[in-house]
Amino acid sequence: MLKLELKRIFSKKLNVLAVGLMVILAAVFSGFAATSNRYVDAHGTVSTGMLATRKLVENKNGYAGALTEAELTKIVVQYKAVMAQSQEEQDANYGTLYQPIDDILNFMISVLTPDAGYDETVLDSVTEDSVQDFYTWYRGNMKWMADQYGKTPEQKDYLEKKYSEIILPLQYESYGAWDTMIMYAETYSIVLAILVGFICAGIFADDFQTKADAVFFASKYGRSKAIKNKILAGVVATTMIYWTGIVLLSAISFGIMGTSGMHTPYQMSEAYSIYIMTYGQYYALTVACGYIASLLAASLAMLVAAKMHTISVAVCIPFFLYCLLPFIGRVLSSYTKVFNLIPTILTNVEASVRVPLLYQIGTHVIRQVPLVMVMYTVLSIVLLPLIYRSFRRYGRA
């Protein structure tokens, strides 16, 4: 029965078109990702083609390795030498002097401006002598951030423990491909959630649209095993569609751009993030959250379709959750922390991991993203028996 339901899903013309659109968009997004990085060569020529990211990685990886204070001193000397040049000289030497150290300079600025906006001028106050205490500053600022964002003793201890997990000195390798792909994976996961919602809503609405509901419910297993297989088919279809799309997107994109920076700590970009992970782990977290978003979209779409016996309202659920709700949450999040736990977080991990937002239950402290992941995984599962009960009771008093 499960094979029959899956065959019905993937033989429906609209669903075939939806899957085709998924494949096309994976290729399109991969193209956008591969051409979104800007590379400047030694002659000042700018390129953004398919090979730009690989050239940029090669350019920056001349500084790959442990960012010891001695290495950072060399970077500061080079930066000040560039800044002492005229604008014409800076433009001419950008590809050989400034571009290769851009990521490392951004890291230093991030360390020197805790809880503040990007301010490149802080580097002007750094000298060859003072940079010898760079990691001492870093540790001191971690303590300050823990005191600022820890509202209770438990939260302060939690933040201090997390910051202590950052291994210093950081190991650098150009991470441009991963940084780019996280943004496109999040956008693509929204598309997949909407497509999954559309496809799964039809599982419970098709019998009513084709007027075959009487036959379905009159069959031997029409109110038991058949419904369970419909639900299982929805979960299986969601899993197949989501991971096929993500694997396709990743394979094309990383095949073009390479995988340099997979083991680079995320703190290279956000020095005070409490998510202690490499860029490879960051990408895994992003796509895992996207999968939960698709499961939630599928469960809600199937529940609404089972109750209303039509696809029209059900297909709007994922669009509302991941396209409209973000705007509502952005406006109201300053008034209540509840809006920091909406499903939108699942498709906007990039914004969430930058902020040390904590929740506390008793003495237990948990970060925003893990809490959201657990909440909506549980909700997606809890909705499944509700779908079963709702559809099973059709036609009964």
Q: How distant is the alpha carbon of residue 336 from its chain centre? A: 23
pLDDT of residue 377: 97
Interval 206-229 mean pLDDT:
60
d(CA 65, CA 62): 9
Task: Tell me what percent of the residues of the chain surpass a pLDDT of 90.
Answer: 65
Q: How distant is the alpha carbon of residue 269 from its chain centre? A: 15
Least confident piece of the model among 114-128, 182-196, 210-224, 349-363: 210-224
Widest CA span of the chain, in angstroms? 84
Interval 258-283 mean pLDDT:
96
Beta bridge partners of 40: 46
Q: Is the pLDDT of residue 333 over 70?
A: no
Q: Is the pLDDT of residue 237 over 70?
A: yes
d(CA 313, CA 298): 13
pLDDT, mean over the chain: 89
More confident residue, 220 or 338: 338
Write out pLDDT tens, residues 95-149: 999 999 999 999 999 999 987 777 888 888 888 889 999 999 999 999 999 999 9
CB neighbour list of residue 163: distance below 8 Å, 6 or more residues apart: 142, 143, 145, 146, 272, 274
Does 265 sit behind a cis peptide bond, omega within 30 degrees of 0 on the bond before it?
Answer: no
Interval 222-238 mean pLDDT:
82
Whether the Cβ atoms of residue 265 and residue 171 lie closer than 8 Å to each other = yes
pLDDT of residue 397: 44
pLDDT class of 297 with cuts at 50, 70, 90: very high
pLDDT of residue 23: 96
> Model-level pTM?
0.92
